[in-house]
Amino acid sequence: MGGALTVAGAAGVVAGYAGPLLPREFFARRSLQVAPELLGCVLEHETDAGLVAVRITEVEAYEGAHDPASHSYRGRTARNAVMFGPPGHAYVYFTYGMHWCVNLVCLTPGTASAVLIRAGQVIEGVPLAEGRRLAGRSRPSALPARELARGPARLCQALGVDRAQNGLDAVDPSSPLRIRAGAAGGPVEISQGPRVGISVATERPWRFWLTGDPTVSVYRPHVPRTRPARPAATPPSPPAGPSAPPAGPEAVSPSPGEGGTINR
């Protein structure tokens, strides 16, 4: 797991690739404040198979009752209940019938705000993360490092996160899923823009990423699904009747210098 060091005020010994656990107070704010400050932080998951840690490079903020794109916009349900709980907990949901996504809950209980972790760089446990990403493929081949956690579903797959981690306290040192401050470094440039894959509130620039980082996912605007229009029904032909007499010559008024009738 790399060299270890002790940080004053931290909960025990922390890994050399990251700083101490983030305090709960860090998340007791609006997701719009928390989201950009999570960039560069490290989300780690420890299982019997080992530990995988991801340096966060892309996030999205969801503002609960003030955000029609948020899962909690219409109130509490069995699915989104964790969002209404204490800050710093993981909200994990299933989407598109095949993928898991992980969020970190913000604000005080009852307010339901969260930050979606969209992408990151695997900085610890690369072989384990790659094995998880390649599992089930008929022809597995090596993945570029930047693709291991590029996108929210790939990130969860690399970390080994699914429904079992829903509700875990990511700021508790005894939790297998933990969020840490990033390793010390210089200032970074942050970009922001519209969120991905939503059909409402698409104009809000609540997606944040580390400018120029190769692990940031590709932006794809939402494209509404439309069904092809059915062809218009052809009206039935009228019943056959007696043939009309052939039309005679069409009479036109003579122009100056002409007389009589002409045929067209």
Convert the pLDDT of each residue in 237-263 to its tens digit. Answer: 666 655 555 554 444 444 333 333 333
Q: Provide the sign of the torsion angle of the four alpha carbons 58, 80, 74, 84, taken in this order.
A: negative
Cβ contact 247:261 at 8 Å:
no
Paired tokens of 217: 């996912």
Does the structure show a pLDDT above 80 at 115? yes
Judged by DSSP in three states, 163 sits in: helix
Cβ contact 87:105 at 8 Å:
yes
Q: Which range (55-59, 175-179, 200-204) has the least confidence?
A: 200-204
Q: Which range (11-15, 17-21, 69-73, 135-139) has the least confidence?
A: 11-15
Instruction: Kindly list the structural domains of the chain, giving each domain's residue range(s) and its CATH number in brackets, ordered by start.
Output: 22-210 (3.10.300.10)
Distance CA 130, CA 102 (A): 19
pLDDT (0 to 100) of residue 186: 73
Q: H-type helices in the chain, by residue range? A: 24-27, 31-38, 126-134, 152-159
pLDDT (0 to 100) of residue 257: 38
Mean pLDDT value across residues 188-198:
93
Cβ contact 86:178 at 8 Å:
no
Predicted confidence band at 219 (pLDDT cuts at 50, 70, 90)? Answer: confident
Distance CA 130, CA 172 (A): 27
- Residue 162 burial by Cβ neighbours in a 10 Å radius (0-12, 13-18, 19+): middle
